Structure formats: C-alpha cells, structure tokens
Amino acid sequence: MNRNRKSVKLAAVIMASALTAAMPVSAAGSGYEAQIEGTKTTSFKKYVLQDKDAVIPDLDFTYEISAGEAKAYDVGEKKFEVLAGIDAEQVTMEGVGTSTANHIHFNSSDSTKNDENSSVKGYEKEEDVYIEKEATLDFSNVRFTEPGIYRYIITESGTNRSVKNDSDVTRVLDVYVYDATGRDGVKKLEIGGYVLHSSEDDNPEISMGDGNGSTGSYVGTKEQGFTNEYQTVDLTFRKEVSGNQASKDKYFKFTVALTSGIANDIVKVDITNADGTVQANAATLDEYENQKNPTQLTFDGNGQATGTFYLQHGQQIVIQGLPAGVAYEVTEAAEDYKSESAKVQEYTGAVSGTTAGEDIKTSYLNTREGAIPTGVATAAAPFAVLTAAAGAGILIVTRKKRATR
C-alpha cells in the first residue's frame, strides 16, 4: 500500500514538472510573456578613413555592450523616462571580418570607397578614402519586463598603431519596447525600434513627443557609428646633378631601408616621376641596365623592408602610406660625384629619421665640376713669333742674293 502511494506521488511530481516546462516563462515580477516580438536585431556602422594612397594593415577593434543609466526627462511639461538596459550580457554581436565575436577587423584586402556624398565624420573626398563595415547586435535573448525605452552603451576599444580613434569611444543605443497585447488578452512586448546616438549629445528636446514620451527621433545627434583614421605619411626622395662634367643621363643607385614597421604591412611606391626600367647609356654603370624600380615594399615579420631604386637628374620616388614611428634611411652610391644630402630646393628633409605627422621630402645633389683650361692663346704665341721671324729672315736673304747679281 505504501509503495503504491509513493508511486502515485512520484508520477504527480513528474507530471507537474513537465507542465511547468511546457508553460511560457515570464520575467520575474512581470505579467508579460518572456518571449519578445518585433525586430530583434539592429546594426551600427564602423568606418576607417585613410589616405588615398595608403594600404591599410591589420586593424582590430573590440566592442562591449553594457547597461546605460536610467534617466528621467522633463522639458516643457513633456516627460518621459529612459530605463537602464537589462540583460546587457545577453546582447550578442557577430564578429565582422573575424571569427571572434564582438570584434571588427580590417586588412589590406578590404575595399575602399570614395563617395562624394558620404557624411562620414572627417571625410575629405579629395584626399581620403574609407572602408565601411556593419556590425549586427542581437537582442533575441534579452528578456524585457515592461514597455519603455531601455538604454545601452556600446564602447569601442583598440590600440592599433597609427590609428586616431574616434573622439567619442561610446555610443548610446536606446531600444524602444512597446506593449503588443493582442485580442487574445495575452500580454506581449514588442521591440518597435532602435535609436543610436552620440553620448556627447543628450538634448531631450529633440526626442520629445507631443505627449509624455519620446518620438524616437534624434535628428541632430543621430550617429552612423564609429569613425577612426589610419594616419600615414609619404616619404619622397629626389635626385639632381650639377656641374659642367655632370651627366644628366646617368642613373644613380639608391637604397631605402625601413625598420620598426608593422609586420607584413604593404606600402605603395609611386614611380610616376621616375623610369620604370634603367635604360643603357654611356654614363651609367653596365650593371644597372634593365634594373626595375619597385612599385611596392612589404615589411617582413620583423617590421623591416628594403628597396633599391635608380634615378636620373630631376627624378623622384614617393613611398606612400608609411605609418608613424617607422625609421627610414635613404642612401646612394655617388660613385665619382660629390654627394650632398638634403640640398635640393624644397627637398631639404633629413635623409634618415623617423616618420611622424608630416610628409617627408628629402634629396641628394651630386656635383661633378671640371676646370676649363685657360691660356691656350698664350701657349700658341711663341710659335707664331718664331714663324714670323723665320719668314723675315728668308726675305732678307733673298734680297741680298738679288743685290749681288
């Protein structure tokens, strides 16, 4: 008899557990269903600005989602309240350009844009291009409890070299949750929309509705996302020759050594104002013939890169898109010419140093001067005098011989 009672009790417990598991779970203290409806995802844009001629290296940015602070607005007899975001740890973000969640990654294979109608912060069409990526935030696992505006903070971090980070490293994301109770009387909540805006601007007047509540409109402070700038400089070196025995046909050999760069980074080389291939001529060393000027340099795993170049008088090379902090040295094989560095007008930057915030323009001036002989006419004068004297002597002798006849 006792065994039967125990079996009945155990069956009742199992059945109760099964029914409980089958029932929808509501958030604690809320009469609303836990399952939220509506659009459960939103997105934000991420931009990296760069010089048109630069090649972007590997860059990585990390994002954290946290709860914002609750705040009550009361302006001009219009009121509404913003609630602190809940379940912030349940908001997920897919990795963009990387398999790691909450990361956005950029590299040299990313496509750039040059849209003249772009409203990207700090973008200058004549000088810049930009890379655009979009991150998606998913609120599917967040269990809102009541209608209202829930505020979250998106924080960006990244210590990428030569990158100027956005002046505002946080964005405010307001999630608008509405009552969506149907005719069946089951109380439901629905995400009606999202507004992303800068944390630097918090003007409640532009988001006030006619009644007590928000319109969800942030016209003045609406943000597309985060904008960072990859800052680089160009290194230009120019060649000029001077002197009455200096050949303007002659090619000179230059070596550019770069250190402290970003491993595996690529930089473009502009050879528009130089020859792509060395042409043979009597003034140039035979070993230089058919040598080519490279159009890019690649840093090795130790952050080092070396390039060999050949320039004639009036030619120059531009190494583009060097990040800050790269040490450089430009040397030349002057051969039998006098060599002076940084002597060409407007190209007086140092031939060695470290890249910083300004473009570098340096040069080598090679001189070959020979003395022009003087006194050639003086050297010929004695011969002319002797010749004249000899002629006069012959004339005298002749006259004497005629006289004796």
Q: Is residue 21 part of a domain?
A: no
Q: Is residue 310 part of a domain?
A: yes
Rounded distance, CA 359 to CA 240, Å?
A: 20
Q: Is residue 7 part of a domain?
A: no
Q: What is the pLDDT of residues 139-166, one digit of tens each?
A: 999 999 999 889 999 999 999 999 999 9
Residue 376 binned pLDDT confidence (cut-offs 50, 70, 90): low
Q: Are residues 109 and 201 in the same domain?
A: yes
pLDDT for residue 58 is more than 50: yes
Q: Are residues 210 and 107 in the same domain?
A: yes
* Furthest C-alpha separation in the chain: 188
Q: Are residues 306 and 259 in the same domain?
A: yes
Q: Is residue 324 part of a domain?
A: yes
Average pLDDT in the 176-184 region? 87
User: Between 180 and 248, whose confidence is greater?
Assistant: 248
What are residue 276's phi and psi, to 5 degrees?
A: -70, -35
Q: What CATH number does residue 107 fall under? A: 2.60.40.3050
Report yes or no: 254 and 309 within 8 Å, Cβ to Cβ: yes
Q: How many CB atoms lie within 10 A of CB 292?
A: 13
Domain boundary among 208, 230, 252: 230
Average pLDDT in the 42-69 region? 94
Residue 4 binned pLDDT confidence (cut-offs 50, 70, 90): very low
pLDDT for residue 389 is more than 70: no
Q: Total structural domains in the chain?
A: 2
Q: What CATH number does residue 343 fall under? A: 2.60.40.1140
Share of the chain above pLDDT 90, in %: 61
pLDDT for residue 386 is more than 90: no
Q: Are residues 55 and 113 in the same domain?
A: yes
Q: Are residues 219 and 255 in the same domain?
A: no
Q: Are residues 246 and 170 in the same domain?
A: no
Q: How many CB atoms lie within 10 A of CB 161?
A: 15
pLDDT for residue 220 is more than 50: no
Give the chain's mean pLDDT: 83
**Close Cβ partners of 187 (under 8 Å, ≥ 6 residues apart):** 31, 32, 33, 179, 181
Q: Is residue 381 part of a domain?
A: no
Q: Is residue 358 part of a domain?
A: yes
Domain boundary among 230, 246, 263: 230
Q: Are residues 205 and 246 in the same domain?
A: no
Q: Is residue 356 part of a domain?
A: yes
Q: Are residues 58 and 131 in the same domain?
A: yes
**Close Cβ partners of 322 (under 8 Å, ≥ 6 residues apart):** 232, 233, 234, 235, 258, 261, 267, 328, 355
Domain boundary among 199, 230, 261: 230
Q: Is residue 142 part of a domain?
A: yes
Q: Are residues 57 and 155 in the same domain?
A: yes
Mean pLDDT is lowest, of 69-78, 115-124, 200-209, 368-377, for 200-209
Q: Are residues 223 and 273 in the same domain?
A: no
Q: Are residues 271 and 296 in the same domain?
A: yes
User: Between 236 and 26, whose confidence is greater?
Assistant: 236
User: What single-letter amino acid sits at 288?
Assistant: Y
Residue 109 binned pLDDT confidence (cut-offs 50, 70, 90): very high
**Close Cβ partners of 122 (under 8 Å, ≥ 6 residues apart):** 49, 227, 229
Q: Are residues 216 and 197 in the same domain?
A: yes
Q: What is the pLDDT of residues 11-27, one digit of tens each?
A: 443 334 443 343 344 45
Task: Look up the domain containing 283 and give its range.
Answer: 232-367
